[in-house]
Amino acid sequence: MTIMAHQKYINCVRVSPNDKMIATSSQDKQIKLWDSNQLKLVATLTGHKKGVWDIQFNPSEQMLVSASGDDDLKIWNLTTHACVCTLQGHKTALVKVAWLNQGL
């Protein structure tokens, strides 16, 4: 199956801990959430000003964190698909991100 996921290069693909969701991030500044069983688009997360380099599901699968070339980290609620927090203050692009303390 072939699906057009993004308008620019895909930088990252992650599978949720329970294998039910796939998240993709791209140079098109978007994060897309997919149902892994049907490969159907569930949501598009927008808000970064530059490409999104890395994403990670937290272990409880309630949130997703994203790292972007706009120097920001964003934390997304996977139920509402809203950005709940933007962490600013870095001076250069963020290319990797990880959860500590089990993401709680």
Q: What is the DSSP string of 1-64?
A: ------SS-EEEEEE-TTSSEEEEEETTS-EEEEETTTTEEEEEE---SS-EEEEEE-TTSSEE
Predicted TM-score (pTM) above 0.85: yes
Residues 46-103 pLDDT 10s: 999 999 999 999 988 899 999 999 999 999 999 999 999 999 888 888 889 988 875 4
At 41 the pLDDT is 95
Domain ranges of the chain: 10-95
Q: Which amino acid belongs to residue 52?
A: V
Q: What is the dihedral of CA 89, 16, 61, 94, to 10 degrees?
A: 0
Pick the CATH number of 10-95 from 3.30.160, 2.120.10, 2.40.10, 3.90.320: 2.40.10
Residue 104 pLDDT greater than 60, yes or no: no
Give yes or no for a contact between 96 and 72, defined as CB atoms under 8 angstroms apart: no
